[in-house]
């Protein structure tokens, strides 16, 4: 499979992931890899600190989180956007072992070489989304559709 992406400096934030070859709509671009940890394990250390405004954590399911701080790949550098060109898709394992579920980043439209890959992180914190937290989790995507924060509205509240 030809290499279609590379990580490098981003205008959005820090590092980013960019297309180096055309990517078709619906194409699976990369798997989000990292160590599988329970929610309790993540909550017990500082990699899940909501006050940091930075995370390599991806909620996999009710039992596990993918922690790309450990054994992560270049997918961890894909930045958030309010008008993304990709989406995260969770693929459940056929068996009962939820630790074997996977996350893939897929293109939701055609992506040209040189374009930065982005997806909506869909972050919803357990605590109230205060102005302070919205500032900590500020969005820098620059899109006309930018909401100013990576935090998503809490549904049903």
Q: Is-above-0.95 flag for pTM?
A: no
**Residue 64 parent element (H or E):** strand 64-67
Span 119-153, pLDDT tens digits: 999 888 888 888 998 899 999 999 999 999 999 98
Q: What pLDDT, on the 0 to 100 scale, is given for residue 1?
A: 54
CB count within 10 Å of CB 47 equals: 19
d(CA 34, CA 67): 5
- In the three-class reduction of DSSP (H, G, I as helix; E, B as strand; rest coil), residue 8 is classed as strand
């Amino acid at each position: 499979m030809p290499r279609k992406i590379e990580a490098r400096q981003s205008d959005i934030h820090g590092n980013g992931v960019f297309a180096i070859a055309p990517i078709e709509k619906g194409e699976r671009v990369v798997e989000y890899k990292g160590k599988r940890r329970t929610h309790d394990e993540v909550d017990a250390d500082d990699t899940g600190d909501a006050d940091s405004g930075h995370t390599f954590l991806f909620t996999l399911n009710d039992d596990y989180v993918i922690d790309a701080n450990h054994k992560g790949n270049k997918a961890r550098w894909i930045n958030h956007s309010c008008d993304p060109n990709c989406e995260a898709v969770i693929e459940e394992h056929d068996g009962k072992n939820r630790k074997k579920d996977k996350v893939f980043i897929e293109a939701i439209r055609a992506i040209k070489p040189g374009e930065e890959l982005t997806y909506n992180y869909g972050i919803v914190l357990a605590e109230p989304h205060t102005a302070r937290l919205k500032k900590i989790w500020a969005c820098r995507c620059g899109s006309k559709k930018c909401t100013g924060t990576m935090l998503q509205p809490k549904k049903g509240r």
